[in-house]
Amino acid sequence: MFPALETELKPETLSDPYEDFMHHHLQYYGYFKGPTCLPSTGHAQIDAVGKDPLMLSSPLLRSRQLLYDDLDEVNPRLREPRELFSFFSSRGPLQAPKWPIECEVIKENIHHIEWVPPEPEYFYQPTGDEKEPEIVGEEQGTVVYQLDSVPTEGAYFTSSRIGGKRGIIKELAVTLQGPEDNTLLFESRFESGNLQKAVRVGVYEYELTLRTDLYTDKHTQWFYFRVQNTRKEVTYRFTIVNLLKPKSLYAVGMKPLMYSQLDATTYNVGWRREGHEIKYYKNSADDGQQPLYCLTWTVQFPHDQDTCFFAHFYPYTYTDLQCYLLSIVNNPIQSQFCKPRALCRSLAGNTVYLLTITNPSRTPQEAAAKKAVVLSARVHPGESNGSWIMRGFLDFILSNSPDAQLLRDIFVFKVIPMLNPDGVIVGNYRCSLAGRDLNRHYKTVLKDSFPCIWYTKNMIKRLLEEREVLLYCDFHGHSRKNNIFLYGCNSNSRKHWLHERVFPLMLSKNAPDKFSFDSCNFKVQKCKEGTGRVVMWRMGVINSYTIESTFGGSTLGSKRDTHFTVEDLKSLGYHVCDTILDFCDPDQTKYTQCLQELKELLQQEIHKKFSNFGQDVDLEASWSDIPLSDIESSTSGSDSSLSDGLPAHLLNIANELNQKMLLKKAKKKRLQTRKQRNEQYQKNYLMRELKLAEDTPGRARFASTLQKQPTLLKTPEKSSSSVMRNEKPRLNETQLSGRDKGPSLEPPLTSRVLPKNKETVQTQLSGRDKSTSLEPPLTSLVLPKNKETVQTQLSGRNKGTSLEPPLTSLVLPKNKETVQSKKPGFTASCSPKRSTNSGLGPAPDVKANWPRTRYPAPRKERSAVAAVYPSLHIYTYP
């Protein structure tokens, strides 16, 4: 078209090295999936093109910042500024999902068609003759498939990349020996897949082990895997051996889902319910841990050499969501009132999308007057039925229906279609890559560990500051109850009494064959305080609900005993929109009728409760004062304790700290009662005295005497300096007399014998309390010269059991008076205030001499100090 330009650009075909490097770098990490970088051109070429507007249509010079209209003509206007996180381009491919680096991922793209069965799919009717296969295991069977890339125990998420684990993908399936080999080939290393191991235990029998949620050892419920090399008109048996829930809808007629690739391409037939001889039973193998349960079923494949899939429920992957959002972006009408944005990035770096849906307002006042509705789904990744309900809601609210247009005129819808994309990608059932249930952490402050929940709560908090939030709904799936129902919160306000039950009652009237109001529960349990509905309710959203959709089907009306299809779940999304219009209708007739009906239902429930207890109650007077939480039973949701707590990577750090704290507590273990402390103290004291006596040959007599009967004993024998050293631990435990009640931690007085006066000082217990005492006795000291005995008495002691060690007397060489010494840093208990109650004070005409050190004698006199044998203690027995 422009030969001059082509001739001029031919010599400049070499790309810029920096641009080429950045292109490959960004493409490798998934941030850029566009065409190859443009070749570099000089300023002359750019100036030449700028002078000629026709050259703007050249594909080599097209800017990604300029907007193009439907006729592919340039519009000299820049695009809107991009969000903080990248969003997929309407012209480029989707953002590839990111996996943890431990996960192997096959390169095949798995896609399934949508199909609605022409006939209802009824529940399986158990006959009672279903077989319960004994678990054989890999010891007697043959392992035909096993994942090697499952994280080990104690591991936690570190990083992610597109495509998961680096390197060559291994072939985990067995190698067929020939065309006659009928071994099934299993595979689950694709998006949302879950199967860890397959063991062949018979010609057509296989035992299957599901992978637990990554970085946990729990939550085996969701399964989704592929089998190849099938044979038709042959009955296969599959048995899943490690399910954790004791109750399941499989026990009351639910069938697994099967998808045939040949049927899809040939007959346009998609997922359908298949299975016979379905049995849910307890695993007989007891490994000492939590009990396991088995699910077994038989099936016949429709074709030879077919590729088939089995799943717990209709899969809805992260890629499916991105394809749907891309269709909205490319729709010129829907994109005007639906703005997809990036709420945040998940732990693995996948985008959590936020949709804002509302019609443009004509004035700022009109925009500010709109109320808000918040909807979310897939906080539990294995509950794919939540995504199908969300899909039905989006289909209706984005349509050109008059009701949809009215809803967009009066409301601002904030929609988070997939709260846990990481868990959806890796095939988890309940947890994120933090190894925790996100629906128990809406009160968290750990933004880095739970970004999806933290940003969702923060968004709603900001929204509440701008406008009223009329409704909050979180779409879930339920594995033990049929039908669709919801959990709400009882209002404590008398003004809005029972108002939170109006919306679910209206929804049950709009979808009578799917929604069961009798299955709804509005009790707020303590273990559910961290859920989305309770946290939003406490933030001020009165109508805050968790909508639960069964994995099975309906037991109501025209759909009784039939499985739910994709269209059934989508229709519930439409009914939610219809119920919002009824709930906010200016004509309050429906609202008033529902409120009156709720009061009548509640009266009947209260009367039934009291009748069961054999009591009569007058419901005409104050029946509305009865707390609603006392009427309802607890919800039958999942046990939150299984998934609550710190994320996996912080849990390891916390465990190490707890172990250190336990070691410290073990070293400093305190006794619980005073009696125990007294007994332990007496026991330890006796053991030390006996040990000191056994260590010295001259103390054998002392030990034998101590065992016979306590008495005063004078032992003016000499001992070596080593004996003094052995006595130091004992002397350190003596204390001052006249102390307060209770155990004392002050150091003792020290007993010293001076070498000149040689007076014997005997201390004895006098005037003691009559109660049993655990105090060690006073110490008897013998001086070598005057051989006079001075007795010190304890008088006016506190009553009660005491733990004080013996009082030790100190005799000075001249005045021959007993003086008590103290350890530096502690206050003596013989204060003037207690002088009237104690006989240990100094003489009135003599000034007491308080030594400042434990051993006031100088070092050179140490050898002259006479060592004393351990004193014999007097114990008072009751």
The CA distance from 390 to 574, in Å, is 9
- What's the DSSP call for residue 548? E
Cβ partners under 8 Å of residue 319, min gap 6? 94, 97, 191
Token pair 């406490």 is found at 538
DSSP output for 344-379: EE-TTS-EEEEEEE-PPPSSHHHHHT-EEEEEEE-S
Structure tokens at 394: 């989006």
Cβ partners under 8 Å of residue 499, min gap 6? 491, 542, 595
Task: Specify whether the CB–CB gap between 506 and 582 falls below 8 A.
Answer: yes
Token pair 């929940």 is found at 453
548 is catalytic: yes
Cα–chain center distance at 189: 26
Token pair 């096959």 is found at 106
C-alpha distance from residue 755 to each of 305, 638, 655, 723, 787 (Å):
110, 82, 61, 17, 12
Cα–chain center distance at 388: 26
The CA distance from 393 to 575, in Å, is 8
Cβ partners under 8 Å of residue 298, min gap 6? 235, 236, 237, 238, 275, 276, 277
Token pair 């006249």 is found at 738
Task: Specify whether the CB–CB gap between 806 and 834 falls below 8 A.
Answer: no
DSSP output for 831-850: -GGGGGG-S-SPPTTS----
Pick the closest to residue 260 from 233, 230, 235 (CA basis). 230
Cβ partners under 8 Å of residue 820, min gap 6? 736, 737, 749, 807, 808, 809, 810, 828, 830, 840
Q: Which of 187, 191, 274, 548 is catalytic?
A: 548
Task: Specify whether the CB–CB gap between 212 and 220 falls below 8 A.
Answer: yes
Token pair 């799917």 is found at 514
Long-range pairs for 51-60: beta carbons < 8 A, 24 or more residues apart: 54/2, 55/2, 55/5, 58/2, 58/5, 60/9
The CA distance from 619 to 604, in Å, is 9
Structure tokens at 252: 């009351």
> Which strand (E) or helix (H) includes residue 235?
strand 235-243
Query: Which residues are 368's β-sheet partners?
Result: none
The CA distance from 162 to 147, in Å, is 19
Cα pseudo-dihedral 450, 454, 456, 459, rounded to 10: -160
The CA distance from 566 to 270, in Å, is 11
Structure tokens at 39: 């070749």
Pick the closest to residue 789 from 797, 798, 781 (CA basis). 781
Cβ partners under 8 Å of residue 647, min gap 6? 156, 434, 435, 436, 446, 449, 450
Angle at Cα 207 formed by Cα 202 and Cα 208, nearest 5°? Answer: 150
Cα distance between the two ends of the chain: 119
Cα–chain center distance at 267: 45
C-alpha distance from residue 846 to each of 621, 659, 783 (Å):
88, 59, 21
The CA distance from 281 to 283, in Å, is 7
Q: So which residues are the catalytic ones?
A: 548
